[in-house]
């Protein structure tokens, strides 16, 4: 019964999250640019309507099926990833013993979805965006695996529900603060944002989106926002205790924490500079991956000594 409830809540959670993310996307850049706050629900709806009314467009000999499927796959991965997040005690759409592994699979397949999106346009700049994303996405996913294993160690379980329950004494953000930051970076990478937007950046005229318009662009935009919501909920669950919190119902706590992470990710996407891909590769392989491994070792040692 609770699983049915979770399955019903999931699309509503995703929809509300997408709306919130779209509003933040309109509100945060003007703030960073020193303009007045313009938070509006109508703004994103008008832009979405404008995109819905345009032609989808085509290039010469695109891989049409992949081009159509890529945003659907991306959106689906966001929804599947969210399915392992418990909304409240016992309320989870996919209460798997290896929920973290399912999330990891969604992360990895995101690389495939984004690559397909760039590849199938049969055009140089989208293809470069696709190449780049694979180059950066693969080590970023590796990094995430170390971070998630370190988060799962205290729970001695790969089930996301157990990871939340193991945070009753101390949240994982306290146990591995660097892991939290690394997971936020992964969130930027999964949702193609700011310093980790190597697929759809300005220097590639929109990268994998450079050749699309109309409904195709609208779908890709929604999929990106869905992934942002999904990774925000996962971050809140794995590092901020998920539904745990005093007084308020568990679901409210999850919403509040997810919203907080959403704000941080949207803000970070506007505030920090993006390194050229080669420098980013060096940073991930030579600094961030060893750091994530050290965090894993540190959590292991802590549990051995005081666990």
Partner 1 sequence: MAIAILRRLAGAAPAPAFPAIGAGMRAAADDLFLDGRLIRADSIRHARILLVAGPVREADQDDIRRLHDQMLHPRATLWWKSNPVRDFAEPATCDEDDPVAAIEAIHRALIEGARDSEPDILPNEPPNPWRGKGDYGQGGEGMMGGTPYGRPMAMTDDDLRDGLALDAYTAPFGPFLPMLPPGLKLSVTLQGDVIQTAKLLRPPSAQAEAYDGTVTALRALGRFLPILGLEAHAVRCLEAARSLSAGKPIELAKIRQFLFWSGALAAIPSGIGMVEDTDVRMRVERWLAALDESPTGGLDGSATMSPLKPARLVDLLRGREWSEAILIVNSFDTDTLISLAPVEAEDAETEGRAREDGIRMDHEGHGTHAHGATGT
Least Å from the CB of residue 134 to partner 1: 10
Cβ-contact 122, 66 below 8 angstroms: no
Question: Should residue 278 be labelled a site residue for partner 1 when binding is judged by CB under 8 A?
Answer: yes
Residue 297: count other Cβ atoms within 10 Å of its Cβ. Answer: 11
| Token digits of residue 176 | 């591995």
Q: Is 245 in the site for partner 1 (CB under 8 A)?
A: no
Question: Judged by CB under 8 A, does residue 139 bind partner 1?
Answer: no
Count the alpha carbons within 13 Å of 145 in the hemisphere toward its beta carbon: 14
Pick out residues in 158-197 that bind partner 1 (CB under 8 A): 194-195, 197
Residue 46 binds to partner 1 (criterion: CB under 8 A): yes
The piece of 146-154, 213-221, 247-255, 293-301 that touches partner 1 (CB under 8 A) is 213-221
x/- track of binding to partner 1 for residues 98-137 (CB under 8 A):
-----------------------xxxxxx-x--xx-----
Least distance in Å: CB of 280 to partner 1? 9
Residue 37 DSSP label: -
- Placement of tokens 């080669």 in the chain: 278
Max Cα-Cα span within the chain? 63
DSSP per residue, 123-166: SHHHHHHHHHHHHHHHHHHHHHHHHHHHHHTTTTSS-HHHHHHT
Q: Which is nearer to partner 1, 117 or 274 (CB)?
A: 274
Q: Which is nearer to partner 1, 175 or 217 (CB)?
A: 217
Coil, strand or helix: which one is 286? helix
Residues near partner 1, by CB under 8 A: 28-30, 32-35, 38, 42, 45-47, 49-50, 52-60, 121-126, 128, 131-132, 194-195, 197, 201-206, 209-214, 217, 269-279
């Amino acid at each position: 019964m609770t699983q049915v409830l979770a399955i019903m809540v999931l699309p509503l959670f995703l929809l509300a999250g997408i709306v919130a993310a779209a509003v933040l996307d309109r509100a945060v850049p003007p703030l960073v640019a020193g303009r007045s706050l313009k938070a509006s629900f109508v703004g994103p709806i008008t832009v979405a309507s404008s995109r819905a009314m345009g032609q989808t467009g085509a290039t010469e000999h695109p891989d049409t099926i992949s081009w159509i499927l890529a945003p659907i796959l991306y959106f689906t991965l966001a929804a599947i990833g969210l399915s392992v997040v418990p909304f409240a005690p016992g309320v989870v759409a996919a209460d798997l013993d290896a929920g973290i592994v399912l999330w990891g699979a969604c992360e990895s397949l995101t690389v495939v979805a984004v690559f397909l999106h760039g590849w199938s346009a049969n055009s140089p700049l989208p293809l470069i965006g696709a190449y780049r994303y694979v180059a950066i996405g693969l080590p970023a996913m590796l990094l995430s695996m170390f971070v998630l294993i370190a988060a799962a160690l205290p729970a001695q379980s790969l089930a996301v529900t157990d990871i939340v329950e193991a945070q009753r004494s101390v949240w994982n953000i306290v146990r591995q603060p660097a892991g939290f930051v690394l997971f936020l970076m992964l969130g930027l990478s999964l949702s193609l944002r700011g310093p980790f937007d190597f697929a759809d950046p300005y220097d590639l005229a929109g990268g994998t989106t450079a050749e699309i318009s109309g409904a195709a662009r609208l779908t890709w935009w929604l999929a990106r926002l869905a992934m942002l919501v999904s990774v925000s909920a996962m971050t809140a669950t794995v590092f901020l205790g998920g539904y745990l919190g005093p007084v308020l119902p568990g679901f409210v706590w999850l919403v509040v924490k997810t919203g907080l992470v959403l704000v941080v990710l949207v803000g970070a996407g506007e505030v920090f500079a993006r390194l050229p891909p080669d420098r980013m590769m060096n940073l991930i392989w030579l600094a961030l991956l060893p750091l994530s491994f050290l965090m894993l070792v540190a959590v292991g040692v802590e549990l051995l000594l005081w666990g």
